[in-house]
Amino acid sequence: MLQVVCIKQVADTETRVKVAADGRTLDPAGVTWILNPYDEFALEQALRIREAAGEGEVVVLSLGGPGVQTTLRNALAMGADRAIHLKTDAVQPDSLQVARALAAELQGLGPHLIWFGKQAVDDDAAQVAPMVAELLGHPCVTVVAAIELTQGAEGGPAGGQAVIEREIEGAREVVEVTLPAVLAADKGLNEPRYASLKGIMAAKKKPIDEKPVSLGPPALEILSLALPAARAPGRIVGQGVEAVPELVRVLREEARVI
């Protein structure tokens, strides 16, 4: 069974955002780049499915500048078999541009399962997975909290099924899908592994297939990136239990929230 995991390189979650001189994008100076945290859950699940089946291939696919190869290498060290790098100089392509380029590549690969993270923690769009599904005409489940493959899906051919639990407001939807399908992983799906030393060594020899892509026209125009308005400074209303009456008073009379 072939699984492709779409991964994005993003700024570390600890990053203090600085706006670049263009006034529209993140200033990359001093930023540490990581594999998007949600994509780790996606990759981990793909690896577990391959391991449980005892066969199959996990390919990681990323679109971005030359820098994304370090992230692809990390994914190979976790256990992916090979990588594809869709190379572009575009600084911040929008979701539809990315989805179209990924879908074109995926069309040729024909995977049974296409994995994504729930959202990229830089643009927080949570869009690329459902867009790719729509472009390919595949079923899609986002915010995947659990998955079970049924009816010989491990064997590979389309027609296999999966039962998926999807987290929604106050409930879980249990969804049956027929492969090939697009899935977007949520935190809690699993506990991602760390790359082992052996994995890191092996990754050096795994192939990264580099393919230049040209993106379609943008659907969104980014006008500006700015730091949010600072919250008005707060105050310590007091120490210990003695502060409780004052806290209740300010919540009721000043903030009017209780």
Partner 1 sequence: MAILVFIEQREGRVRSVAREALGEAVRLAAALGGPVVGVCAAAADPGLAALGDAGATEMLLATHEAFRHYEPAGYVRAVVAAVERVKPSVVVFSASSMGRDLAPRVAARLGVGLAADCTALAVEGGRLVATRPVFASKAVQRVAFTGTPAMVSLRPKVFAAAPSQNGAAPTVTPLAIDHDPAAARSRVREVKTTSAGKVDLTEAEIIVSGGRGLKGPENFAIIEALALALGATVGASRAVVDAGWRPHGDQVGQTGKTVSPKLYVAIAISGAIQHLAGMSSSRCIVAINKDPDAPIFKVADFGVVGDAFEVVPALTEAVKALNARS
Ligand X SMILES: Cc1cc2nc3c(=O)[nH]c(=O)nc-3n(C[C@H](O)[C@H](O)[C@H](O)COP(=O)(O)OP(=O)(O)OC[C@H]3O[C@@H](n4cnc5c(N)ncnc54)[C@H](O)[C@@H]3O)c2cc1C
Q: Which residues bind ligand AMP (CB under 6 A)?
A: 6-8, 36, 38-39, 61-64, 95, 98, 102, 116-117, 119-120, 123, 125-129
Q: Which residues pair with 35 in a beta bridge?
A: 9
Q: Which residues pair with 166 in a beta bridge?
A: 144, 173
Q: Are 233 and 109 in contact (CB under 8 A)?
A: no
Give the nearer residue to ligand AMP in terms of CB position, either 170 or 212. 212
Give the nearer residue to ligand X in terms of CB position, either 37 or 155. 37
CB of 32 to ligand X, least distance (A): 11
Site for partner 1 in 129-168 (CB under 8 A): 129-135, 138-143, 145, 163, 165-168
Site for partner 1 in 52-111 (CB under 8 A): 94-96, 99
CB burial string 179-189: b at 16+ within 10 A, e below: bbbbbbbbbeb
Q: Are 88 and 64 in contact (CB under 8 A)?
A: yes
Q: Are 155 and 195 in contact (CB under 8 A)?
A: no
- Cα–Cα distance measured from residue 17 to residue 208, given in angstroms and rounded to the nearest whole number: 30
Site for ligand X in 10-49 (CB under 6 A): 13, 37
Among 51, 109, 211, 252, binds partner 1 (CB under 8 A): 252
Among 29, 108, 124, 205, binds partner 1 (CB under 8 A): 124
CB of 247 to ligand AMP, least distance (A): 38
Site for partner 1 in 9-38 (CB under 8 A): 11, 13-17, 19, 26, 37-38
CB of 125 to ligand AMP, least distance (A): 4
Q: Which does 135 bind (CB under 5 to 8 A by kind): ligand X, ligand AMP, partner 1, none?
A: partner 1
Q: Are 128 and 102 in contact (CB under 8 A)?
A: yes
For the record, the structure tokens of 256 come out as 């009017």
- Cα–Cα distance measured from residue 198 to residue 200, given in angstroms and rounded to the nearest whole number: 5
Q: Which does 108 bind (CB under 5 to 8 A by kind): ligand AMP, ligand X, partner 1, none?
A: none
Q: Are 244 and 231 in contact (CB under 8 A)?
A: no
Q: Which does 36 bind (CB under 5 to 8 A by kind): partner 1, ligand X, ligand AMP, none?
A: ligand AMP
CA neighbor of 160 nearest in space, from 113, 91, 218:
113
